[in-house]
Amino acid sequence: MKRVVVTGLGAITPLGNSVDEFWENIVNGKSGAATITKMDVSKFKTQFGCEVRNFNPEEYIEKKELKKYDLHTQYAIAASDQAIKDAGLDFQSIDETDRYDMGVIWATGNGGMGTFEDQLLEFHASDGTPRFSPFFIPKMIVDIAAGVISIRHKLFGPNYCTVSACASSNTALISAFDTIRMGKAKLMVAGGSEAAIIYSAIGGFGAAQALSKRNSEPETASRPFDQERDGFVIGEGAAALILEDLEYAKARGAKIYAEIVGGGMAADAYHLTGTPPDGFGASLGMKKALAEAGIGPEKIDYVNAHATSTGLGDMSELNGIKNVFGAHQVAISATKSMTGHLLGAAGAIESIVCVLAVQNDVIPATINTKKLDEKTPEGLNIILGKSVKQPVNYALNNTFGFGGHTATSIFKKYEA
């Protein structure tokens, strides 16, 4: 099997529209939550989220082209362009036959849900005459961002979309990792994007009692593991990672952020939206990732928990972590306390957190959590309040999705 490394990063997030700005705010414990500004939600029970702010798509896309792309695809283009530039890649100068072995695996949980909503509302408000945009279907379908990135950079290798709800982009990264290590590609653009701060998503998640209702204090509403947590804070954005065959990366003189060494996927096989109290599916995914990496749990220095700030989900994951790590005092934190929940893009943005934690030997904290849930398993090292500076040789990233999907990836400090 080939070794796979991370050589480029890109991010459009509620904490900044570049990786550097995002990481600085993560390390400093800044919240990205605020009252929603892009639409009138005054009649909704939840009126806040983690919006992307000051995003100018014309920095990446010609104005005349914008009408072709849903916002989630615009975010995907921006994040992938950043990552490609960060990796020092100029695909136009790379021989076409080499690009036969370069591809894109891009994730989203909802795709062009905003486009779908807009078009149907517009039709409903009309006299019934169909005036749908010719771009409606390609803007809406979930695979389109992967296709657009491929077309944009003339990448002829594997190209598809992974959809596993909130585990989608971690699944994409694991799939890209597998594709390269099995020799089916030498470079992959992988990540995910979401633009679900829209009426139907706020209404739907709200009806499911999944969203926090702390409208008077949105910046502290996402409080994973906290005794008084009352639901997740919806977020939006995109994150991209360039994964490469190590030998190809070295041959072209690429900088290397970290090595990806394991990916475990499993299922709760339990409930439509809930997770088993014992965290079985989560622990199974983590065990598979550790086995693939060829390491024991004692090697992991940091776990970026999925921890959305929901009542049952947080404790289920902590029980799964306790089951896997036992007495090992692995550092655990939940950066959704700052970013909110980016749904299908969560795994990719949290993978960037893991990569930068490994590179910089910094463990970001969980903010807003004041009193741990009384059901929290004993002996866990949950980092609260402020980031911690300590060696991070291995970082593990958990993501879980409605339907019982679990995906765990492991990143390692690169050694030649």
In contact, 65 and 238? CB cutoff 8 Å: no
* d(C-alpha 215, C-alpha 413), whole Å: 41
Q: Which residues of 189-204 are buried (b: 16+ CB within 10 A; e: fewer)?
A: bbbbbbbbbbeebbbe
DSSP annotation of 273 reads S
DSSP annotation of 13 reads B
In contact, 33 and 51? CB cutoff 8 Å: no
Active-site annotation holder among 166, 271, 354, 405: 166
Active-site annotation holder among 161, 306, 354, 405: 306
Annotated active-site residue 341? The verdict is yes
SS3 sequence of 88-128: CCCHHHCCCCHHHHEEEEEECCCCCHHHHHHHHHHHHHCCC
Phi, psi of 174 (to 5 degrees): -65, -40
Active-site annotation holder among 50, 341, 354, 405: 341
Annotated active-site residue 50? The verdict is no
Inter-helix orientation angle 346-360/19-27, to 10°:
70
* d(C-alpha 205, C-alpha 218), whole Å: 17
Phi, psi of 239 (to 5 degrees): -145, 140
- Indicate which residues carry an active-site annotation: 166, 306, 341
